[in-house]
Amino acid sequence: MTGRLERLRELLERGRLDGLLVAAPGEEGPGWASRAYLSGFTGSAGVLLVTRTAAVLAVDSRYWEQAERETAGRGVRVLRAKGRREEWVRELVAEAGAAGGRIGVSPGDLTYGGYLALRAAVNGLPAHDRPKLRAAPGLVERLRRVKDREEIGLLEAAVGIADRAFERLAGELSPGMTELEAAARFEQYVREEGGSGVSFPSIVAGGPWSALPHAQPRDERFAPGQPIVIDVGARYRGYCSDLTRSVVVGEPDGRFREVYEAVRAAQEAAIAGVEPGRRAAEVHELAHEVLRRAGFGEAFGHGLGHGVGLEVHEAPYLGPSSSDVLEAGMVFTIEPGVYLPGWGGIRIEDIVVLEDGKARVLSHASKLTFEGE
């Protein structure tokens, strides 16, 4: 992670900034992933200040020992924050060598309330020590777009856990099971397979309910012959996976096969079209065109995919409005879908990594095959 700090410092120099504040005082939520990426600290509250010569993490007494353990050997010093916010912010600024400097703050790392708390703490410093806060959107997020080998290994582990948990669940699906029961079993299996938990609330939807891309599980039993969308993920050592499979209890009818094969063909076309330097929007269009030719163009309304890492949704974005350009080392989903109100939906999602000039599929959970294939 020391290399990550150095790469961030290069961006600071280009942006004529003396430092970057990652996660604001009092914040829990925004900024945690970027803070973990740079420091290794996974707690829910803490402030990381990275300057051109230092990286200092301020945490309260709940996290002193955890922070020392998780940041060891990563080029980060831990500040044991005590007392009022204004007091330890003064220590943080001094220890990082940021007094009077231009300090960047990412709008994505804090809420408006968090910004007001930060500004009040900084304004409480003596005038000659007071840093000048500057908007610096997306610096760490820019680094996180491309995964290093350690990250890819952790993502592969998270994907494998979800694959195994899904296979166990798929072997137990029956008309007597409810959507809620299926979601609960998947979460149980994730933990049994080595995950720390699910990476997002599981989506399990049967019949017409599956036409809602983000449907919440209900206390409804699966009906034979109806489509079932299962969109799930696992978390492992902070990293996420994201997997969608569409299945059916009993024998699929002709309509199911028609829609499923169109979605599968769209996904295959998109995966084949992934290459460095290609616009993400173009890859989305490859899948959308397959669905248009099959008569389902209007039934595919969301983006083709998104980056996955410490957060289950991060850059790049693969959609029609995306300006992202694909690069080697990016990890993202490919997930076309067709949603037909009154009937249901089909979505197939895999995670891929762009390496050696093409997409390598990380997800290996089984997909449906039909007679004659």
pLDDT tens digits, residue range 180-235? 999 999 999 999 999 999 999 999 999 999 999 999 999 999 999 999 999 999 99
Q: Which amino acid is at 48?
A: L
Mean pLDDT in residue range 166-193? 97
pLDDT, the chain, mean = 95
Per-residue confidence band for 316, with pLDDT thresholds at 50, 70 and 90 = very high
Residue 276, class by beta-carbon neighbours within 10 Å (0-12 exposed, 13-18 middle, 19+ buried)? middle
User: Is the pLDDT assigned to residue 28 strictly greater than 80?
Assistant: no
Angle, helix 112-123 to helix 85-96, in steps of 10 degrees: 80
State residue 269 phi and psi, 5-degree precision. -65, -40
Per-residue confidence band for 23, with pLDDT thresholds at 50, 70 and 90 = confident
User: Is the pLDDT assigned to residue 150 strictly greater than 90?
Assistant: yes
Residue 370 lies in a domain: no
Give the residue from 126, 144, 162 where a domain finishes: 144
Residue 126 lies in a domain: yes
CATH, residue 295: 3.90.230.10
Q: Quote the CA–CA distance of 192 and 318 in Å, as a whole number.
A: 33
pTM of the predicted model over 0.75: yes
Say yes or no: 97 and 216 in one domain: no
Say yes or no: 284 and 344 in one domain: yes
Say yes or no: 120 and 162 in one domain: no
Chain centroid offset of residue 135 CA: 23
User: Is the pLDDT assigned to residue 26 strictly greater than 70?
Assistant: no
User: Is the pLDDT assigned to residue 2 strictly greater than 70?
Assistant: no
Say yes or no: 262 and 291 in one domain: yes
Instruction: Check whether the bond before 201 is cis (ω within 30° of 0).
Output: no
Say yes or no: 306 and 277 in one domain: yes
Total domains present in the chain: 2
Mean pLDDT in residue range 157-163? 98
Residue 369 lies in a domain: no
Q: Quote the CA–CA distance of 244 and 267 in Å, as a whole number.
A: 12
Give the residue from 90, 124, 144 where a domain finishes: 144
Residue 70 lies in a domain: yes
Tokens of 104: 């960047």
Residue 27 lies in a domain: yes
pLDDT at position 25:
63
Q: Does 114 or 312 have the greater pLDDT score?
A: 312
Per-residue confidence band for 115, with pLDDT thresholds at 50, 70 and 90 = confident
User: Is the pLDDT assigned to residue 114 strictly greater than 90?
Assistant: no
Say yes or no: 199 and 317 in one domain: yes
Say yes or no: 169 and 122 in one domain: no
Q: Quote the CA–CA distance of 225 and 343 in Å, as a whole number.
A: 11
State residue 250 phi and psi, 5-degree precision. 90, -155
Query: pLDDT for 241-282, tens place per residue?
Result: 999 999 999 999 999 999 999 999 999 999 999 999 999 999
Give the residue from 96, 118, 144 where a domain finishes: 144
CATH, residue 137: 3.40.350.10
Q: Quote the CA–CA distance of 344 and 294 in Å, as a whole number.
A: 17
Say yes or no: 247 and 315 in one domain: yes
Mean pLDDT in residue range 109-132? 89
Say yes or no: 182 and 127 in one domain: no
In what helix (H) or strand (E) does residue 90 lie, and over which residues does it extend?
Answer: helix 85-96
Token pair 């044991």 is found at: 80
Give me the domain span that covers residue 181: 149-361
User: Is the pLDDT assigned to residue 57 strictly greater than 80?
Assistant: yes
DSSP one-letter string for 274-311: --TT-BHHHHHHHHHHHHHHTT-GGG--S-SEEE-SSS
Say yes or no: 188 and 135 in one domain: no
Chain centroid offset of residue 29 CA: 14
Q: Quote the CA–CA distance of 183 and 200 in Å, as a whole number.
A: 11
Residue 54 lies in a domain: yes
Query: pLDDT for 293-302, tens place per residue?
Result: 999 999 999 9
Say yes or no: 208 and 340 in one domain: yes
Residue 373 lies in a domain: no
Say yes or no: 161 and 137 in one domain: no
Residue 367 lies in a domain: no
Per-residue confidence band for 371, with pLDDT thresholds at 50, 70 and 90 = confident
